Amino acid sequence: MGINISNFLTSKSNNRKMNQFQDLDHLDGISISTVSANLYNNKRDDLVMFYFREGANFASVYTQSKIISENIKWNLNQKTKKIFSLLVNTRNANSFTGDQGYKSMENIAEIISLKLNEKQKEDEDYPQKIKTKNIIFGCTGTIGEKFPEEKIKNKISSLINNIKYTQNKYIWMKAALGIMTTDTQPKMAMEECLIGNTKVKIYGIAKGSGMIQPNMATTLGYIFTDANLSNEILKKLLKKNIEDTFNAISCDGDTSTNDMVSIFSTGKANHRKINSISEKKIKNFDLALNKVLLNLAKRVVADGEGASKFISLNIKNCKNDKEAKKIGFSIANSPLVKTAIAGEDPNWGRIIMAIGKSEVTINLNKLLIKLGDIVVVSKGKIYSNYNEKEAAHYMKNPNIEISVDVSNGNKNFTVYTMDLTHKYIEINSDYRS
């Protein structure tokens, strides 16, 4: 597709780029390993381990689906303040697998804890005791297939033997590639900022292409930082910043059983303690975290299954956030709107339809709709200078902006989505073959 992902890299920091991707390098306190467990038949890496040799504080948000995967159940049941390992597999969602799927998490966690404890004794002056509750999982892939426990267990030793204590851009790229399913490209982002006078790093990788409307998409997002932040601070920061990032995207309006976004703090940056997210010295980190999450979320949309257009829906001047979101997602999830955009047809009547079905009361006399800078509807009527040919020409752009101003308050919200093409049908009809 023709979308230039580098457009999403809006950081003012002097970040290096690796082609279209930001160049993630070493981050203290995290180690990475990837391997193929032959979950696919093409020998690609499909297991990724993140190892925190001194443990990491963490926080996660999970899918709001009423049917959740067995790995999400496992993660929710682990009541611990420190995580030592995150293991992510692709190809199998471990969803609708019942007792077998959950028991597999248990069995794999036991092997990981055993092997990591051996590694702790070999490598550390003061070895940590790693328990199964210190291990969490990310799973993505097909729902309802038996979880491949034996294939994964057989590769745990290789994963741990291959752990790299020092990362570089290629190791991060392997990790980002290793968690992909129908994605066509890896998703990485980074920011650097100051907490007080101390520089900290925030790195992130994600996967997601279809079955995406995260409601906290199949979306996995993992954020890593060397900042020294407590679980409670991380939880508040993640919950706050997920709303206008991963919770502001929709590819197809579907919420997965496996969605999870997690943040891990290694505590290696030597800055003064943060006690509250309202403290002035955490403000830069808060803003940088939002940039990383939004960067990754936009990459998910840009790589949506079969997408040819990246669409920003700017909903303005609503009575409250709830109404702004209702209007935005009503438009984003309309097949009629999405196919019109795919066909480069400025059929604004479909936008009107989608606004109307949002269940938000609209004063037509105040309604303004724009395609880019082109005014289409003003005060509830076709704008007197509206030019259909000009609008049709605008629709040929790979990046489409639609603005809806209801003039009913002061709350704004932007939803990011994609068009709906024949390719989406092809991908999802062939998904398991």
Model confidence pLDDT, tens digit, residues 251-292: 766 677 888 999 999 999 999 999 999 999 999 999 999 999
Q: Which residue has the tokens 């990724």?
A: 48
**Beta-bridge partners for 22:** 17
- Mean pLDDT, rounded, for 90-98: 94
Token reading at 20: 């279209």
pLDDT at 216 over 90: no
User: Do β-strands 399-405 and 310-318 pair in parallel, antiparallel, or remain unpaired?
Assistant: parallel
Specify whether the CB–CB gap between 393 and 300 falls below 8 A: no
pLDDT of residue 101: 97
- Mean pLDDT, rounded, for 401-423: 95
Return the axis-axis angle of helices 321-332 and 348-356, rounded to nearest 10°: 130
pLDDT at 2 over 50: no
Q: How far is CA 212 from CA 42, 185, 207, 295, 303, in A?
A: 26, 16, 11, 16, 11
For residue 298, which amino acid is it?
A: K
pLDDT at 69 over 90: yes
Mean pLDDT of the chain: 90
Radius of gyration of the chain (CA): 22
For the stretch 14-65, pLDDT in tens is: 443 334 667 899 999 999 999 999 999 877 999 999 999 999 999 999 988 8
The sign of the dihedral angle between the CA atoms of 236, 239, 243, 245 is positive
Q: Which residue has the tokens 């990383």?
A: 292
Direct distance between the N- and C-terminal alpha carbons of the chain, in angstroms, rounded to an integer:
23
- Mean pLDDT, rounded, for 198-216: 76
- Mean pLDDT, rounded, for 118-135: 97
pLDDT at 339 over 90: yes
Q: Which of 244, 88, 111, 105 lies closest to 175, judged by CA?
A: 88
Q: Which CATH architecture has domain 310-429?
A: Roll (3.10)
pLDDT of residue 1: 36
What stretches of 140-230 show up as alpha helix (H) in DSSP? Answer: 149-153, 156-161, 169-178
In which order are the strands placed within the sheet that holds 368-371?
A: 249-250, 411-418, 310-318, 399-405, 368-371, 374-378, 381-382
pLDDT of residue 13: 38
**Beta-bridge partners for 193:** 200
1 vs 417 pLDDT, higher one: 417
- Mean pLDDT, rounded, for 79-97: 95
Cα–Cα dist 313/133, whole Å? 42
Q: How far is CA 133 from CA 93, 221, 261, in A?
A: 21, 21, 19
Q: Which of 269, 297, 296 lies closest to 193, judged by CA?
A: 269
Going by pLDDT thresholds of 50, 70 and 90, the confidence category of residue 201 is very high
Q: Which of 178, 261, 217 lies closest to 418, judged by CA?
A: 217
Domain spanning 5-302: which CATH class is it, in words? alpha beta
Q: Which residues of 48-63 are buried (b: 16+ CB within 10 A; e: fewer)?
A: bbbbbbebbbbbbbbb
pLDDT at 86 over 70: yes
Q: Which of 71, 69, 306, 7 lies closest to 183, judged by CA?
A: 306
pLDDT of residue 354: 97
**Beta-bridge partners for 188:** 205
Going by pLDDT thresholds of 50, 70 and 90, the confidence category of residue 66 is confident
Three-state SS across 342-361? Answer: HCCCCCHHHHHHHHHCCCCC
Number of H helices, E strands in the chain: 12, 17
pLDDT of residue 431: 53
pLDDT of residue 16: 38
Which residues form the catalytic set? Answer: 218
pLDDT of residue 210: 54
Q: What pTM was estimated for this model as a whole?
A: 0.91
* Domains 5-302 and 310-429 fall in the same CATH topology: no
pLDDT of residue 6: 43
Cα–Cα dist 312/328, whole Å? 9
pLDDT at 394 over 60: yes
What stretches of 303-334 show up as alpha helix (H) in DSSP? Answer: 321-332
pLDDT of residue 107: 98
Cα–Cα dist 84/69, whole Å? 21
- Helical (H) or strand (E) element with 369: strand 368-371
Specify whether the CB–CB gap between 93 and 143 falls below 8 A: yes
Q: Which residue ranges make up each domain of the chain?
A: 5-302, 310-429
